[in-house]
Structure 1
Amino acid sequence: MGILAGCAGAPPRLYVLTPLPPGAPNGGNSANGPTGARRRSGRSIGVQPVTMPEYLDRPEIVAHTAAHELSANRDDQWAERLPTNVTRVLAENLSVLLDTDRVRVMPARDGDRFDYEVAVDFDRFERTVSGDSALAARWAIRDGATGKVLVRDETRLSTPVPASGYPALVAAMNDNLTALSRDIAAAIGKLPQKGGARTRS
């Protein structure tokens, strides 16, 4: 009886983080026309799959309920693996913010090398005991040809969640990811413009 009741229950609510739209403020390319097509001559950037603690890499959305206690509600889940979602959104955000269509998640299927490569390691990306949305990430930008680290920095954010419930939490997490993307894009924007991607021999 219990098994049948469980099968008849409502499916979980699924959530996903989303990228900036083309032409977003302080990014994008509204000057390129209404289609928002990004420049093919822009910087080529490879984004490595992000890393994060294993307790975050699960279907349920994780939240702290005490200093050493977490909750994971089966009724509210990510639509895909959180690291995969974050990596894809980060790459799309950098494409918008840097006005280039030459951003790829690594390894690139076409075998291209990149002007710059981005690596991000998350230490936190969850709701805190106080109810805020916290993000703590260490990130680096490397030269795509030599592998030399050109920039190494970290972003730490704590954003109030204006309402109870998972929709507001996910929206705050999305805002934090956008802010991280802006930090990385600003650092890349200060680096020299190169000649573009090179095909591996």
Structure 2
Amino acid sequence: MRRIGLCLFAAALMGLFLVGCVQLPTPRPSNTSYYLLGSDLSADTTVEMSGLRLGLRKPRLPEYLDTPTIVTRRGPNEIHFAEFHRWGEDLGPALNRVLALNLEKQSGIQSAEVVPWPRGVGFDYVVQLRVLRFEGVGPAPPGPDVDDDVPIPEGHSQMIIGWTVFGTEGDTVRTRGITRHREDGWPVTDFADLVAKLDTSLVVLAEDIRDRLQTLERKEQ
């Protein structure tokens, strides 16, 4: 027993020695950049005291867009996931958040609530998004061996989102539409610019939905 105890004690001392000699790697700074939608929203706090109250359901996204990485399209069937350029939040909730803020800036709209909705709140209409495209489109950027003076190729942003407007209870379809929008002049290495262009498309989306709601309201009066 004494011999076993001495062996255990020696092993413990050796373990402490090894721990003291082990040098943990120094954390490296991340090369990943993160982006948020909504960069073009102003600080305007004006609130409509009357107008439509909207509820936004969870958007439907294709699987290839339901990812943290920003997607670019390089041809009809080729896509690229930008490993070092990522969304700072899940894309579905981000789309709803920014659309709600853009809708609330439109005349005739009092509020737009995203799921999960506050308890007991009522809506005039419920809106559901179906995202078909939300990405950059363009050629591949120059490789690392290309000279620095080679110009960066340009592409464009692309948004195609279908939307359905339901009635008060959220079960009767009142109208449907689809918004297509692109912004040209995107340098394919500038992901901050791509996100800003997609922000602009979300403003157009809010305006399209607002215009259709106004038409729907006039028909019902």
Tell me if both proteins adopt one fold, taking TM over 0.5 as the criterion: yes
- Deviation at 1:190? 2.4
Q: Alignment partner for residue 20 of structure 1, among 27, 35, 41?
A: 41
Structure-2 change in CA distance of 1:100 and 1:183 (3 Å): closer
The alpha-carbon distance between structure 1 residues 59 and 146, as it changes in their structure 2 partners (threshold 3 A), is: closer
In 1, Cα distance between the equivalents of 2:57 and 2:107? 17
Which of 184, 189, 194 aligns to 2:209? It is: 184
Letter in 2 for 1:21: S
Measured at CA, do residues 45 and 22 of structure 1 come closer, stay the same or move farther in structure 2, by a change above 3 Å?
Answer: farther
SS in 2 for 1:113: coil
Q: CA deviation at 1:69?
A: 2.4
- The equivalent position to 2:136 in structure 1, one of 123, 127, 132, is 127
Bigger Rg over Cα: 2
**Could you tell me how far 1:22 is from its partner in structure 2?**
5.8
> AA paired with 1:184?
I
User: Aligned residues, how many?
Assistant: 178
Counterpart in 1 of 2:70?
61
Uncovered stretches (5+) of structure 1, i.e. residues with no partner? 24-35, 194-201
RMSD: 2.4
TM-score (norm 2): 0.72
Q: Could you state the TM-score of these two structures normalised by the residue count of structure 1? A: 0.78
Name 1:84's counterpart in structure 2.
93
Give a deviation string over 1:16-60, Cα, whole Å, max 9, x none: 11063365xxxxxxxxxxxx4312322111011211111111111
Aligned to 2:122: 113
Q: Greater relative contact order (Cα 8 A, min sep 6): structure 1 or 2?
A: 1
In terms of mean alpha carbon deviation, does 47-56 or 137-146 score higher?
Answer: 137-146
Map of 2:174 onto structure 1 = 150
What residue identity is the alignment partner of 2:127?
V
> How far apart are the structure 2 equivalents of 1:119 and 1:187?
14
Of residues 188, 200, 205 in structure 2, which corresponds to 1:175? 200
Equivalent residue letter for 2:94: N
Alpha-carbon distance between aligned partners in 2 of 1:124 and 1:59, rounded to the nearest angstrom: 15
